[in-house]
Structure 1
């Protein structure tokens, strides 16, 4: 069933130009990185990688859900044999795959190299799952992008704070709370092509993102059913 839902979502996403635009954003990020001197790439590439899988995915999944609410597609989940949990998983997996394509474009074009690409792919896949599920959870309550704008900005700001902490700009002990933000473990994967990140650190980062994915799925499952499925009956 998930395979059929993914196929349907892919067709609709291509026809509506949502997914091509998503890929073009990755291409645009890669081209933008070409303007930076090579010494800045270890700092800028991880930021662009977070924007592509995480924050762009967080925004795009919301716009998809708004459109499908208006079309009645989500409301139909309450009266059709399609499992709404499969709907959540299918959308998450599809956007994660698209994020990997975008990340490859960013690395190939922006750095002119694919060194460390396996680290990036793993990080992008896990980060994308977390942020897409969080996007589903948050956007389920809203009906248009105007209402969704404030959560997008909030997630953007919070997700970028770990970069400031990692680079030594937020030194107070209180800022260690940022280790709990999902972009922080993702940052280690995005830094791995440029720095010597230990295998132990990457392993714990993967565990943290998997735990985050489980929490995000649980929240998405509850809120999506409450606000999007049950709320539209």
Structure 2
């Protein structure tokens, strides 16, 4: 029940601070963009947008929410209570993944294309967004300013962009198979029906493994930098 309550709290928090409205505008921009994309390239463009959207949402918004909560003093009453940190992190990942999923489907509906496998397409968005959300939280709790966070999250996120080189046939290597975003791209390619069962199983497995690792890292980071410092005076120097 605590997990559901936290999930509902996050949805209300995001709605109250205009996150859904912002993403409505983003989807409108994508819809306009597709008018200028030639027909033969629309499927490829849709895959790239679906790839970048949950990454950007999880990486930037999750960290921004954590910093906003800290600035508003949300963490103090939250962690003075006997709250389950696992539920808190999963609620964050779940609420932002839901927003990514809604945006992903709107993007593809506006592009005029329907995924060949809706389940694998949805799994790719959900697992990628949750991974990036947990990664972002692990970074955000180490910093007090949004500028420091935005600078460092780009460093952490850079390796996950590399599989796009293979997607565009610029550079391909088996090392990309170790990165979760290689699995993301393969799941999203279900848009064209070009993914077999083994690729689906590999993609879900690699994303689940990385999600678990990101969860453990976010949990330890939150425990060290937030939970152990509840009530700490705001304005402390950045912790690195």
Give the TM-score normalised by structure 1.
0.90
Compared CA separation, residues 82 and 136, structure 1 to 2 (3 A): same
Worse overlay, 94-103 or 23-32: 23-32
Report how many aligned residue pairs link the two structures: 229
Instruction: Please say if 1:24 is aligned against 2:25.
Output: yes
Q: In 2, are the aligned partners of 1:30 and 1:107 still within 8 Å (CA)?
A: no
Match of 2:228 in 1: 230
Worse overlay, 136-145 or 201-210: 136-145
Structure 2 runs not aligned, ≥5 long? 232-240
Compared CA separation, residues 8 and 202, structure 1 to 2 (3 A): same
Structure 1 runs not aligned, ≥5 long? none
Q: Distance in 2 between matches of 1:220 and 1:26?
A: 29
Q: Distance in 2 between matches of 1:13 and 1:214?
A: 24
Match of 2:92 in 1: 91
Alpha-carbon RMSD: 1.8
Which runs of structure 2 are paired with 1:109-128 in the superposition (5 Å)?
Answer: 109-110=110-111, 112-116=112-116, 117-128=118-129
Match of 1:212 in 2: 210
Cα offsets for 1:60-100 (capped at 9, x unmatched): 00010001001111133331122222111111111111111
Deviating 4+ runs (over 6 angstroms): none
Cα offsets for 1:168-191 (capped at 9, x unmatched): 2124xxx43232222111000111
Cα offsets for 1:19-78 (capped at 9, x unmatched): 331343234334323321121123222221122112222100001000100111113333
Match of 1:184 in 2: 182
Match of 2:11 in 1: 10
Give the TM-score normalised by structure 2.
0.88
What's the secondary structure of 1:197's corresponding residue? Answer: coil
Q: Distance in 2 between matches of 1:156 and 1:81?
A: 33
